[in-house]
Amino acid sequence: MNIHSEHSRTRSARLSACFRPDRSDPVMSLFLTAGFPTLEDSLDLILGFEQNGADIIELGMPFSDPLADGPTIQFASQTAIRNGVTISWILDLVREVRKHSSIPIVLMGYLNPLLRYGADRMIRDAADAGVDGFILPDLPVGEMPSIRESIREHGMDLIQLVAPNTSAERMREIDRQSSGFVYCVSVTGVTGAREGEEVSKSVDRFIDRVIENVALNPKMIGFGIKNHENAMQVSKRVDGFIVGSALVEQIRATAMADGHANHAENGQPVADSVETKSSGDWKEELFRFVRHLKFGD
């Protein structure tokens, strides 16, 4: 664990509280696509994740052309879009969460949906709904300063990404421009759960570079974590870990009835005829997976 004391850079009080200096366990951030597997399930999943160990929720804004996402997240995005998810619906979901919970919520997604909604309007409405920050992977470092400034003026954090192929100079610049935490992408490429050997070979060298160059913000590591052992291995020298594809795949595996969540022969996801199993059964199985990620039991 390497919790930093310079949390004045964290504008969201809810996010800042996750990285308190006296914390001894790693922070766990969980990603789920809003509206997946159904609109009705999203609120239950967020609250259930918190009850079973999640410290931060990254709420994915589905987009029809997610270039950096692997087939699992693509499938979830296409399903959510077919379910009728919109930015307005996502913000209403955040408002519902805020009636029950103060867990930090970060919206993650591509610039296109934000720009279509209207950047200034989106940022204002997100702050009003109770959003704590944004992760916008395709927002170029140093560009679109009006978006960056608006997020900060509304008391939210702009969380940016570093990867193994990010230069030391660029890491330092991303650290300066970020707040909340820096998202450390442990494996270069599209998102997806990776095998433990692949993760372990590259992650130590990457973390050395991150520790050397990211000094202003807490550091969260993700992309490839799929079980408790992975999570503990990669987060022992940083502030916490992020689980995305493995969790979404677990939702798909536990929620979808057999034969209703398949991939086409070319590997692209299809989202037709989605049905789900009995709510209580699959959610409890999913929450056991979440508890395992955090606690290992």
Per-residue CA distances from 158 to 49, 121, 173, 263 (Å) = 23, 16, 13, 34
Q: Determine the 3-state secondary structure of 106 from DSSP.
A: strand
Q: Which two tokens stand for residue 263?
A: 């991939």
Element (H, E) at 94: helix 87-98
CB 73 within 8 A of CB 263: no
**Catalytic residue annotation:** 58, 69
Query: CA 252, CA 262: separation in Å to the nearest integer?
Result: 10
Exposed / middle / buried, residue 169 (Cβ in 10 Å: 0-12, 13-18, 19+) = exposed
Q: Where are the beta strands (DSSP E) in the chain?
A: 27-33, 56-60, 105-108, 133-135, 157-159, 161-162, 182-185, 219-222, 240-243
Cα gap 26→221, rounded to integer Å = 11
The SS3 assignment for 242 reads: strand
